[in-house]
Structure 1
């Protein structure tokens, strides 16, 4: 008898306490940790959005005129060059992950908080012997200037075959190089999604099945995306609409009645740890060169990478690379009553590109438009 499962089995994003990419630094005093963090941020802030998690060390009280002192729960202050938000309540990991969603990585003072990966400092003044339970995934070891070898207790604790780099705490450049390379290795893979779940009411026939290039448009688009993606899927509204003869990997909508947003969200639900290159199936003018340009210009530090539309007024959601951080953002838009992917792009930090050829963005919705495409392809073949 099958075991009863109370809740739906979902693929979970690879989060830690704060983020997908987080490093706790521990093993030395808090001032040294902050100095190291500031050095890393100064070197890498032009490439990455970086957050730091620490605790207040001087125990300062809330100002008497603060709304928190007077019974308020949240105080938001626009300080012109930055914004300050003060909360009275504490955060749990679920709230932390939303708060840090737009960051590329989070550095954590490991003396006070835990993270899924660690950088440890060997400092005789702050031994790690009583904190070994925090060392679950050590990525880097740093030695203070007066240390030349690892202590025996640490050697015994580390797993067999452990081979993390060992650097000097004072070598900020080497440390930042390590962090940068570590982040590059954690870049999310790219999957492809051909959006073919529309009803094709205006075309009066299945747009994904139209033969422009000697095969269905679904197969054609699948081949274009597969040149750049680890896996490519066809997005269908439901199982009944799948074209089994094409034998292409499919993802059916689990977010029903939301159009293209439902297809994208369903893909993220299927795999929330990959970026998704989503392309509508009704773009017969889309060239391999334009698609390659989009992939080459991918900016994983943004929510998405996309083109401006043909009028250069708004982001074009029909051809877009959505980073994993877009998934929770889309769900937040949906919770506020918005199901338009373009609305998400307009109101998020995205990499906006000018398309090499505006004609590539022309989607085909009517029979007369289809016929003009056929005639164009015959003339140019």
Structure 2
């Protein structure tokens, strides 16, 4: 596996309506959510950029790419990232998984990802299309669905050549999406106890 063939794409364009503030910029354990996630990605990728219209991310020092299709959800964010990337393979993560670590992501980068359009994490019955490797060619399917008023990322993943890798149950908490203030309290409590 050659890290030069993989770009890290962080999707941070969501409305964060349940949290009430931009999730990626929340400070957790001394760093923003986004920085925690990028730190987990960096050993496995040659480059990282953030897809977001929020200029606040510029102060973190990473390249930021605007959503090219506004208000169309994570499918449009993925499309913007895949359209911009220079590499065939891309590690795509959402900005709301601050507990993610490099060991979990290695499960993806050590897989036979070159035989698939998408390789995603699965925990129990739940697949995680925003902890996944995507081939650049997936941008075409994203655009096609967006043009047909489809915003659901799972719809794209289900129409692409996709492999799901079931991870150890013990890692379940590490891939948890932090969507609400309650979720944030829970992880802060767990770390302190």
Asked if TM exceeds 0.5, the reply is: yes
For 2:76, what is the secondary structure of its paired residue?
helix
Question: By how many angstroms is 1:371 displaced?
Answer: 0.7
Structure possessing the higher radius of gyration over alpha carbons = 1
For 2:113, what is the secondary structure of its paired residue?
coil
User: Which of 226, 241, 249 matches 2:42?
Assistant: 226
- Quickly say closer, same or farther: Cα 1:350–1:188, change in 2 above 3 A: farther
Kindly indicate whether the alpha-carbon contact (under 8 Å) linking 1:217 and 1:284 is maintained by their aligned counterparts in 2: yes
Q: Structure 2: how far apart are the matches of 1:270 and 1:188?
A: 16
* Deviating 4+ runs (over 3 angstroms): none
Kindly indicate whether the alpha-carbon contact (under 8 Å) linking 2:118 and 2:161 is maintained by their aligned counterparts in 1: yes
Kindly indicate whether the alpha-carbon contact (under 8 Å) linking 2:10 and 2:50 is maintained by their aligned counterparts in 1: yes
User: Which of 235, 238, 251 matches 2:51?
Assistant: 235
Kindly indicate whether the alpha-carbon contact (under 8 Å) linking 2:82 and 2:138 is maintained by their aligned counterparts in 1: no
Question: By how many angstroms is 1:332 displaced?
Answer: 2.5
User: Which of 124, 138, 154 matches 1:326?
Assistant: 138
For 1:225, what is the secondary structure of its paired residue?
helix
Q: Structure 1: how far apart are the matches of 2:88 and 2:4?
A: 5
For 2:177, what is the secondary structure of its paired residue?
coil
Question: By how many angstroms is 1:192 displaced?
Answer: 0.5
User: Which of 331, 352, 364 matches 2:178?
Assistant: 364
Unaligned residue ranges in structure 2 (runs of 5+) = none
Kindly indicate whether the alpha-carbon contact (under 8 Å) linking 2:138 and 2:160 is maintained by their aligned counterparts in 1: no
Alignment partner, residue 259 of structure 1: 73
Deviates more, 1:353-362 or 1:249-258: 353-362
Alignment partner, residue 12 of structure 2: 196
Q: Structure 1: how far apart are the matches of 2:177 and 2:191?
A: 15
Alignment partner, residue 94 of structure 1: none
Kindly indicate whether the alpha-carbon contact (under 8 Å) linking 1:304 and 1:351 is maintained by their aligned counterparts in 2: yes
1:276 aligns with 2:78: no
For 1:319, what is the secondary structure of its paired residue?
strand
Q: Structure 2: how far apart are the matches of 1:271 and 1:280?
A: 16
Question: By how many angstroms is 1:311 displaced?
Answer: 4.5
Kindly indicate whether the alpha-carbon contact (under 8 Å) linking 1:253 and 1:266 is maintained by their aligned counterparts in 2: yes
1:347 aligns with 2:163: no
- Quickly say closer, same or farther: Cα 1:198–1:342, change in 2 above 3 A: same
Kindly indicate whether the alpha-carbon contact (under 8 Å) linking 1:222 and 1:233 is maintained by their aligned counterparts in 2: no
RMSD: 2.2
Kindly indicate whether the alpha-carbon contact (under 8 Å) linking 1:305 and 1:352 is maintained by their aligned counterparts in 2: yes
Question: By how many angstroms is 1:306 displaced?
Answer: 0.5
1:207 aligns with 2:23: yes
Aligned residue pairs total: 191
- Quickly say closer, same or farther: Cα 1:335–1:200, change in 2 above 3 A: closer
For 2:145, what is the secondary structure of its paired residue?
helix
Question: By how many angstroms is 1:284 displaced?
Answer: 2.3
Q: Structure 2: how far apart are the matches of 1:318 and 1:204?
A: 21
For 1:227, what is the secondary structure of its paired residue?
helix
User: Which of 155, 169, 188 matches 1:374?
Assistant: 188
Unaligned residue ranges in structure 1 (runs of 5+) = 1-183
Please give the per-residue CA displacement for 1:141-198, whole angstroms capped at 9, x wherever unaligned: xxxxxxxxxxxxxxxxxxxxxxxxxxxxxxxxxxxxxxxxxxx99x981101111111
TM-score by length of 1: 0.47
TM-score by length of 2: 0.88
Alignment partner, residue 56 of structure 1: none
Q: Structure 2: how far apart are the matches of 1:341 and 1:294?
A: 19
The structure with higher relative contact order (CA 8 Å, sep 6+) is: 2
Write the mapping of 1:96-135 to structure 2, written as runs, cut at 5 A.
Answer: none
